[in-house]
Structure 1
Amino acid sequence: MLIRTIVATACLFSLSGAPARASEQSEVMDRIQQAVDATNQRASASVMASYFTASVVLIGGVPPFVFSGPSAQAIEAWRKVNAAEAEHAGVSQFSLQLRAPRRVTVDNGHAYVVLPVDYRFERENKQLSIPGVITATLERSEGKWLISTWTWTGD
C-alpha cells in the first residue's frame, strides 16, 4: 500500500508539473523567436541587447569567433565582423528561419536550447540557404528569459 501511495503521489506531481514546464519551454522559445525577429529586422545593438543578459558570450563562424562582454558591445562587435564578411562574400538580404527545436530543457531558472535554423541570403541575385544550428542558454531574471550564450554552427 505504501508503494502504491508513493507511486500515485509521484504521478500526481509529475502531471501537475507538466503544464508549468511546457509553459516555460514556450516562454524560452518565444524569447529566441523575438531575438531572431529583431535580428531579421536589423534592430540596433541596444535593442538586441534587451533580449540578452547584461554580459553575453556569442560564438560564430567568423574570426575572431568569440564575442563576449557587455551585451550591446558584444553584439555590435559580432555584427561588424559579420557585416564585413557578408560584404566580402557578396551576401545581402540575410534572414534566419527557425525550425522545430531538437531540444528545449528548462530547469530551475536556466534553459538550454538546440535549434535547427536556415540562414537565408541572396548572392549574385540568387536566393540561397545554409542549414545550421543555434545552441543557446538562457537565464530567468526578474520574470523574463534572457539569452546568456548563443552559438551558431553552420553546416
Structure 2
Amino acid sequence: MTTAGAADPLAAVHQYIQAFNDGDVTAMSAIFDDEGAVLDGMAPHVWSGPSAVEHWYRDVMTKSAHLGASDYVVAVDEPLHHDVSEDTAYLVFPASLDSRLNGAPVVQTGAIFTVALRRRAGDWRIAAWTWTKGTVQQ
C-alpha cells in the first residue's frame, strides 16, 4: 500500500477504500488532503482539517463498538461521474458496504460515494468525500 497520494484520481480513491477496508487509518490519512472534509450520515456529520480522517474513523469505531458493528468492507463500481481537470477531480461511485452486526452479516446496497480530489505536488489527494446511505439488508 502506498502511503502518499496517487498519480491518478481514480487510483487515489481505490487506495483510500483499500486502506479503509484494511483498517489502516494512517494510509487513509496519507491520501487525504490536509484541508479536506468528510460528510457522513453519522453525527456530528462533518469532520474537517488535518485530522478529519482520524477523527471520523475514531467516531465510526466508537459508534460501531456501541452498536456491535464490525468488519466493514466498502466496494465501488465504475464511476457514474468522472470529471477531471488539470488539478481537480469529481468522482461519483455506486457503492456497497458489507459488515457484521452482532455477528450477523449486513449488506448496504445502493449507496453513493462522492469524492472531490485535488492534485498537490503531482499527487492526487482526497479533498472531500460523502457517503449517501443505501438500503440495508440483514
Classify the TM-score, shorter chain.
Answer: 0.7 to 0.9
Using the alignment, how far apart are the partners of 1:104 and 1:76 within structure 2?
27
Give structure 1 regions of 4+ aligned residues with deviation exceeding 4 angstroms.
none
Aligned to 2:126: 147
Are 2:21 and 1:43 equivalent residues in the alignment?
no
Cα deviation for residue 53 of structure 1 reads 1.2
Cα deviation for residue 49 of structure 1 reads 1.5
Cα deviation for residue 76 of structure 1 reads 1.5
| Higher relative contact order, structure no. (Cα contacts within 8 Å, ≥ 6 residues apart) | 2
Q: Supply the AA of the counterpart residue of 2:62.
A: A
Structure 2: gaps (5+ residues): 1-6
Counting matched residue pairs gives 127
Q: Supply the AA of the counterpart residue of 2:75.
A: Q
Matches within 5 A, 1:50-61: 50-61=30-41
Structure 1: gaps (5+ residues): 1-25
Matches within 5 A, 1:111-126: 111-126=89-104
Larger Rg: 1
Aligned to 1:98: 76
Cα deviation for residue 48 of structure 1 reads 1.7
Using the alignment, how far apart are the partners of 1:97 and 1:140 within structure 2?
24
**TM-score for the superposition, normalised by structure 2:** 0.85
Q: What secondary structure does 2:124 align onto?
A: strand
Q: What secondary structure does 2:43 align onto?
A: coil
Using the alignment, how far apart are the partners of 1:61 and 1:31 within structure 2?
23
**TM-score for the superposition, normalised by structure 1:** 0.77
CA distances 1:79-126 after superposition (whole Å, capped 9, x unpaired): 121112212221111110111211110012110011111111012332
Correspondence for 2:113 among 113, 134, 154? 134
Contact 2:31–2:126 under 8 Å retained in 1: yes
Aligned to 1:77: 55
Using the alignment, how far apart are the partners of 1:49 and 1:127 within structure 2?
28
Q: Supply the AA of the counterpart residue of 1:53.
A: D
Using the alignment, how far apart are the partners of 1:86 and 1:101 within structure 2?
28
Superposed CA RMSD in Å reads: 1.4
Q: Supply the AA of the counterpart residue of 2:48.
A: S
